């Protein structure tokens, strides 16, 4: 009985739950450690994301027989150049469009009221509950929009301040690029040969999963913002660049992001011209179909292999637990956990086959 695999698994699960219970009862011991982790979490995560984005570029420079330090310096210069180009050429245009959008809020309110009046004039049936909701919304729409825009600008301001304070990220990134290849040998050196090889395979699988997600998400978002900008520009939608950039930001949220991204474009299109609703819908649909059927499968491949229903469930659960940050990191975290479970399950099956 004690040698049965099922009994051993049960014992392991019981021990894990007991360990969790013990940790929950002795939180005061782990508080300093948790504070330390929370203090370095942001620069470590930020540098980690940049590490996966810039690692291929560093290896590209090294392929020309360049020294690693020189390659890292070139990577930093490239990052500085890209940020400078964004600040000089893209940010001013987006800023002007956002300013124009705020200045046009009274006009947007007026057009919305005219649209409601038009529907009521021609006796288009509107359910009573909907009509009451519309009246309440239109009477307070300017306050709603101002609150949203104020919150958005506060969020952007806080975000910029927060990013500006992350002075540790370049230092973490430098040492990750310089010594990242030493991490796996350092971790596996304390185990015997068989355990070391097994752990090495697991760590490389996790590395592949994170690489596929982070690099793939950046490339997909980059192509999406270009597609959306071209589509919105061709149909003559106002604030095309701002709406395309918003779509790129929302695309970071897997599966749900594209649906959230189209909402501001539909609102602006409806205010600009009711027929623009159709054109915005068609343009967004074409861009999203190209992204989901052509770009994403070829960029990310089948490494993640996450079912859409699983993604929705994970996002909803993470959002209720950790808010917006939970939504952002839910999918890669789940992908890593899935990779770990699959690895150990494969080990279990191999061991079972031997027995």
- As a residue count, the chain comes to 355
Is 264 within 8 Å of 240 (Cβ atoms)?
Answer: no
Please, where are the H alpha helices in 26-67? 27-62
Q: Report whether pLDDT(62) > 70.
A: yes
Q: What is the DSSP string of 260-322?
A: HHHHHHHHHHHHH-TTHHHHHHHHHHHHHHHIIIIIHHHHHTTSS---HHHHHHHHHHHHHHH
Instruction: Give the count of beta carbons closer than 10 Å to the beta carbon of residue 227.
Output: 21
State the chain's mean pLDDT as an integer.
Answer: 76
Query: Nearest 5°: phi and psi at 264?
Result: -60, -35
pLDDT for 153 equals 65
User: Of 34-48, 272-286, 331-345, which range is least confident?
Assistant: 34-48
- 65-90: average pLDDT: 88
pLDDT for 77 equals 93
| pLDDT-derived band at 256, boundaries 50, 70, 90 | low
For the chain, what percent of residues have pLDDT higher than 70?
Answer: 71
């Amino acid at each position: 009985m004690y040698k049965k695999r099922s009994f051993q698994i049960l014992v392991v699960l019981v021990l894990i739950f007991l360990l969790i219970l013990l940790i929950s009862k002795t939180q005061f011991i782990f508080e300093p450690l948790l504070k330390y982790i929370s203090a370095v979490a942001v620069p470590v995560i930020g540098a980690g994301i940049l590490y996966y984005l810039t690692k291929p570029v560093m290896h590209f420079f090294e392929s020309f027989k360049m020294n690693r330090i020189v390659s890292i310096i070139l990577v930093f210069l490239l990052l500085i150049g890209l940020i400078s180009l964004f600040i000089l050429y893209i940010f001013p245009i987006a800023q002007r469009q956002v300013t124009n959008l705020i200045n046009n809020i009274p006009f947007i309110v007026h057009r919305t009221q005219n649209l409601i009046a038009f529907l009521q004039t021609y006796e288009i049936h509107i359910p009573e509950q909907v009509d009451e909701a519309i009246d309440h919304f239109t009477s307070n729409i300017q306050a709603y929009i101002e609150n949203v825009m104020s919150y958005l600008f506060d969020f952007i301001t806080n975000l910029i301040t927060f990013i500006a304070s992350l002075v540790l990220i370049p230092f973490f990134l430098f040492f990750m690029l310089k010594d990242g290849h030493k991490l796996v040998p350092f971790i596996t050196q304390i185990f015997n040969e068989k355990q070391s090889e097994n752990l090495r395979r697991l760590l490389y699988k996790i590395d592949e999963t994170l690489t596929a997600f982070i690099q793939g998400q950046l490339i997909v978002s980059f192509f999406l913002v270009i597609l959306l900008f071209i589509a919105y520009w061709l149909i003559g939608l106002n604030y095309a660049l701002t709406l395309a950039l918003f779509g790129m930001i929302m695309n970071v949220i897997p599966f749900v992001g594209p649906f959230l991204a189209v909402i501001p474009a539909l609102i602006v299109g409806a205010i600009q011209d009711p027929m623009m609703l159709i054109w915005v819908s068609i343009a967004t649909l074409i861009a999203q179909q190209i992204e989901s059927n052509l770009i994403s499968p070829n960029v990310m491949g089948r490494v993640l292999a996450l079912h859409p229903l699983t993604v929705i469930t994970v996002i909803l659960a993470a959002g209720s637990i950790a808010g917006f940050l939970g939504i952002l990191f839910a999918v890669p975290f789940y992908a890593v956990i899935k990779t770990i479970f699959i690895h150990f399950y494969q080990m279990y099956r191999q061991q079972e086959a031997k027995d």
